[in-house]
C-alpha cells in the first residue's frame, strides 16, 4: 500500500490540518504530490482495483 496526501478539490483548511498532524509523527512530515505524479510511479504495471484514484 502506498499512502500519499492528495488535496485534489479538497478544502485548504483540512489539508493544512492534515499537514499539522503528520508533521508531529515519527516520519517527520508528508510530501504532497499531484495525482499524475503518484500515478506515474505505477507506469507499466497492472494495478488491481481500485487502482490509483
Quick one: 1 exposed, middle or buried, by C-beta within 10 A (0-12, 13-18, 19+)?
Answer: exposed
The one-digit pLDDT tens for each residue of the chain (53 residues) are 556 666 677 788 887 887 788 777 766 666 667 888 888 888 999 988 887 76
pLDDT at 44 (0 to 100): 92
Phi and psi at residue 32, to the nearest 5°: -75, 135
Cell numbers standing for residue 17: 490540518
Distance (Å, whole) CA 17 – CA 39: 25
Domain of 51, in residue numbers? 1-53
Q: What is the DSSP letter of 1?
A: -
Task: Tell me the HSE value of 17 on the side-chain side, using a 13 A CA sphere.
Answer: 5
Tally of domains within the chain: 1
Amino acid at each position: 500500500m502506498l499512502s500519499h496526501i492528495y488535496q485534489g478539490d479538497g478544502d485548504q483548511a483540512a489539508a493544512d490540518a492534515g499537514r499539522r498532524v503528520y508533521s508531529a509523527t515519527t516520519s517527520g512530515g508528508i510530501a504532497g504530490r499531484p495525482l499524475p505524479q503518484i500515478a506515474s510511479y505505477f507506469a507499466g504495471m497492472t494495478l488491481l482495483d481500485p487502482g490509483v484514484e
